[in-house]
Amino acid sequence: MKQQSTSHYDSLSLAFHWVTAVVVTIAFILGPGGFGRLMRQGIDPATRSDIVWHESLGILVLVLTVLRLIWVALRPATPQILMAGWMHVTSKLVHLLLWSLLLALPITAFLALGSEAHPLTLLGGVRIDKMPMIADSAIAKLADWGDVHAFLGDAIMWLAGLHAAAAIYHHVVLKDGVLSAMLPHKRSS
């Protein structure tokens, strides 16, 4: 399905990118600080809207990421922008790290919830009280997955910030079309 080169990403790629960016940012903002402490104090996560929204948005991030990966394999050609070799390699590395974090964050959240016997609480009253496959697994005991999840949450925000700053640098200083390729554009008639 790959087609000839273009100067812009297709509409579905744009939608996936920007919706994911917004959802990750909101989930980060709503990320309940001291979640484990609250649960050990007997707080029911279903009574905390920040927890319910954070976990629901986390599931949405996972779904969006899987759908994006499928679309990446099928989508039309992506823009090919001329830049220095080191910039191209750095861009590939940053994108690989972002993709890895988009997958690792929901996984570490499941590991944290399952290993600490906390429920998964979602919008609409959906609740999974126990995740015995995770709680009984060897991987559950390898780390404090809540701490790992928090660290990765901070990491994705820092990396996304650097990603955005680089795009702005390309737009303002280099004027090479990197940022323009990821912005909505008017189709010529």
**Structural domain contains residue 38:** yes
- Angle at which helix 49-74 crosses helix 85-115, to 10 degrees, equals 140
Contacts of 41 (CB under 8 A, 6+ apart): none
d(CA 168, CA 151) in angstroms, rounded, equals 26
**Structural domain contains residue 25:** yes
**Tens digits of per-residue pLDDT, 87-146?**
989 999 999 999 999 999 999 999 998 888 888 999 999 999 888 788 888 888 899 898
**Tens digits of per-residue pLDDT, 44-71?**
887 888 899 999 999 999 999 999 999 9
**Tens digits of per-residue pLDDT, 145-181?**
989 999 999 999 999 999 999 999 988 998 888 888 8
**Structural domain contains residue 5:** no
**Structural domain contains residue 50:** yes
Q: Are 102 and 156 in contact (CB under 8 A)?
A: yes
pLDDT of 3 above 50: no
Structure pTM? 0.87
17-33: average pLDDT: 93
Q: Based on the structure, what is the number of domains in the chain?
A: 1
d(CA 113, CA 108) in angstroms, rounded, equals 9
Per the model's pLDDT, the better-predicted residue between 74 and 32 turns out to be 74
32-39: average pLDDT: 74
Paired residues of 128 in beta bridges: 120
**Structural domain contains residue 142:** yes
**Structural domain contains residue 2:** no
Residues spanned by the domain of 129: 11-178
**Structural domain contains residue 6:** no
**Structural domain contains residue 189:** no
